[in-house]
Amino acid sequence: MRSVAVDLGPIVPWSGETYRLIPSRFPPVAVYEGLVANDQIADLVEVENLTNPRLKAQERIADLAGEDPHTSARLQNWNHAPFAYGNPDGSIFFDELTPCLEVATDRQTALAVSVARRERFLGYTREPATGLDMRMLKTPVDGRFVDLRSLEPKELELCGRELGAKLAEGAHGILYRPIERPTATAISIVNAQVLGRAIQTVHFRFMWNGDRIATLYSFDAAGTEIKTIDLRGEADCIAA
């Protein structure tokens, strides 16, 4: 096993499309729907927005950078929220004080990572069998990243936080091989400036059986079924 004292390696340019999944809901439901009268929802949302940390951060960034929140890629909700709220559990490279956005460079890897994370969460909360609707986002990325793809994923599990603490100034994040699909590439991004505007692509339903997510379905014309065990493999199991 390598020591964490190993050099982090080169900072390399990387540009391309990236993928991630977020929960979806059909149709969208307002936060206060069913709790108050419909004619009061708009007023409650307006009050809540006064202290919303994501909106406050957007306003500060827009003022400093002279960007329009309605057209700026990094201020787009899907791109900005991961940096505004952070993750209380941290990530593979960073603790809860360093927000980051983790994406994959292909759809299959994004699915493999998302399934593994949803399984952990649902297992912790002991959820009964249910279907989870998820939507895939595609986001262009163009930046400079520390390249840790030479490290085995299990090495990163042991020393990822220590390596993340050594992230060089000027690097926008880290390229690495995720344990959920070791033959692929994922990116941990710490600077939203490298993000292009995200777009919504395919929707999926993850089938949680009370113990694991063994299958998922694509909301395409055929309702394609995917065995989640196949997501980890090197071969492409996602229809084009």
pLDDT level of residue 160 (50, 70, 90 thresholds): very high
Residue 195 has pLDDT above 90, yes or no: yes
Residue 27 has a CB neighbour count (10 Å cut-off) of 4
CB-based contact 107:238 (threshold 8 Å): yes
Closest alpha carbon to 18 in 179, 154, 194, 160: 194
Peptide bond into 27 cis (omega under 30): yes
What are φ and ψ of residue 174, in 5° steps? -135, 130
In this prediction, residue 238 carries a pLDDT of: 80
For 49, the token pair is 């927005």
- pTM of the predicted structure, to 2 decimals: 0.81
Which amino acid, one-letter code, is at 97? L
Residue 6 has a CB neighbour count (10 Å cut-off) of 14
37 vs 46: CA distance, rounded Å:
15
Q: Which residue has the higher pLDDT, 198 or 67?
A: 198
In this prediction, residue 4 carries a pLDDT of: 47
Residue 19 has pLDDT above 50, yes or no: yes
Round the average pLDDT of the chain to a whole number and report it: 85
pLDDT level of residue 105 (50, 70, 90 thresholds): very high
Model pLDDT for residues 20-72, shown as the tens digit of each residue: 999 986 555 555 455 555 565 556 655 665 566 666 666 665 555 566 666 68
Q: Which residue has the higher pLDDT, 223 or 239?
A: 223
In this prediction, residue 194 carries a pLDDT of: 97
In this prediction, residue 73 carries a pLDDT of: 85
Model pLDDT for residues 117-127, shown as the tens digit of each residue: 999 999 998 99
Give the pairing type, strands 173-176 and 130-147: parallel
Q: Which positions ≥6 away from 238 have C-beta within 8 Å?
A: 107, 108, 111, 226
Query: What ranges make up the beta strands (E) of the chain?
Result: 11-23, 101-104, 130-147, 173-176, 186-189, 199-208, 213-218, 225-227
Q: Which positions ≥6 away from 190 have C-beta within 8 Å?
A: 94, 98, 99, 100, 167, 171, 172, 173
Q: Which residue has the higher pLDDT, 98 or 75?
A: 98
Instruction: Report the first-to-last Cα separation within the chain, whole angstroms.
Output: 38
Q: What share of the chain is helix, strand, coil (3-state, %, to 5)?
A: 30, 25, 40
Q: Which residue has the higher pLDDT, 45 or 199?
A: 199
CB-based contact 145:93 (threshold 8 Å): no
In this prediction, residue 1 carries a pLDDT of: 45
Q: Is 77 left (phi over 0), alpha (psi -120 to 50) or beta?
A: alpha
For the chain, what are the domain ranges?
11-232
Q: 3-class SS at 225? A: strand
Residue 216 has pLDDT above 60, yes or no: yes
Tokens 């956005």 identify what position?
A: 101
Instruction: Summarize the confidence of residues 94-113 as an average pLDDT.
Output: 95
In this prediction, residue 214 carries a pLDDT of: 94
Model pLDDT for residues 26-36, shown as the tens digit of each residue: 555 555 455 55
Residue 226 has pLDDT above 70, yes or no: yes
CB-based contact 186:211 (threshold 8 Å): no
